[in-house]
Structure 1
Amino acid sequence: MAHTTISPGAVAEWCDALARSLRAGTTLSSALMSIEPADPALAHRSQSVRQALGRGAIVSTAVIGLRPDPASRPQRQSPHLALAAAVLATSGSIGGPAAASLDRLAGALRLRVADGQERSAHSSQARLSAHVLTFVPLTLLGLLAATDSDVRAVLSQPTGIALVSIGLALNLVGWWWVRCIVTTRA
């Protein structure tokens, strides 16, 4: 199966379904075996847990399949799923009200989703500015080169080419810098 990112919202929905099942009276093991996540990537990733539980494993060892694989690349690991694995393993080994823990985890994951959406909304103006500052000078240079013979004469000289090259390099660095600022995680 091709790798897709597991979103915190998908993990939160799964935790909600597990908590509902626990409040209805099922055990954590039964809930994990019977509830398949709606998200296809999460369902695929949690398949090993359902199989291990079906073979008689305890919850704390069955959820090891949800934890990050140290051999895989970091972008393939889901910190949200790792957090859910930790909560499930702790609930499975210590016991107690697992539904409350899963509810709190789902709430925390929803806050992560809301924070990401808020960061995206606040950075949209900076992203738009980066696009404008990148493409307007290039468009203007193309327009002037197409319509003005003096600009074409300057661009045919080594000095003109050097100035345009420096300008393009600075433009690229500015675009990269704004992109780094906008995409930095808090």
Structure 2
Amino acid sequence: MKPILQLESARLVLRQWRDEDLPEFAAMSADPQVMRYFPALLTRLESAALIGRVRGHFNEYGFGLWALERKDTGAFIGFTGLSHVNFEAPFTPAVEIGWRLARRHWGLGFASEAAWTSLRVAFGQLGLEEVVSFTAQCNLPSEKVMQAIGMQRDPRGDFDHPRLPAGHELQRHVLYRIDRDEWRHTLHG
């Protein structure tokens, strides 16, 4: 399949990562507020490695976590996109939708807008049957985005993240799902 390298929404460009995105991404990944629902802040080197893994996912599957750019300013503001879940859980194999935005771009609807665009690709161009999303059960802002894009909580699917140690405050995760029919219904509501 030909890689899906760029998408557009009303206010955003979802595009391939550029080397010049690293400083902003590293700053975002070192922000304790942005990373409060993740186990640790990322160093610049870890941020660069994550970009490398995202690029590898695009090379392997033709889609991934797109860098987000505001159309009005050209600013890099984070990422949103689709990726194969890279750990074993009762709901895998699966493709997840995820997002992370720099703090100054929160509360403007960018995560939901980019996520809608990603779901359009998932169910349209990629022909996926289902997309999942998950987060630490204390991450209510991320759950609100999941709900805003029509995803439904699957309480039976909630799980302890296998990459976090037993008893870690972020170990328990909630699972959301949306399938192609639910997405279509949400579109035409």
How high is the TM-score relative to the length of structure 1?
A: 0.25
Bigger strand share: 2
Rg larger in structure:
1
Bigger helix share: 1
How high is the TM-score relative to the length of structure 2?
A: 0.24
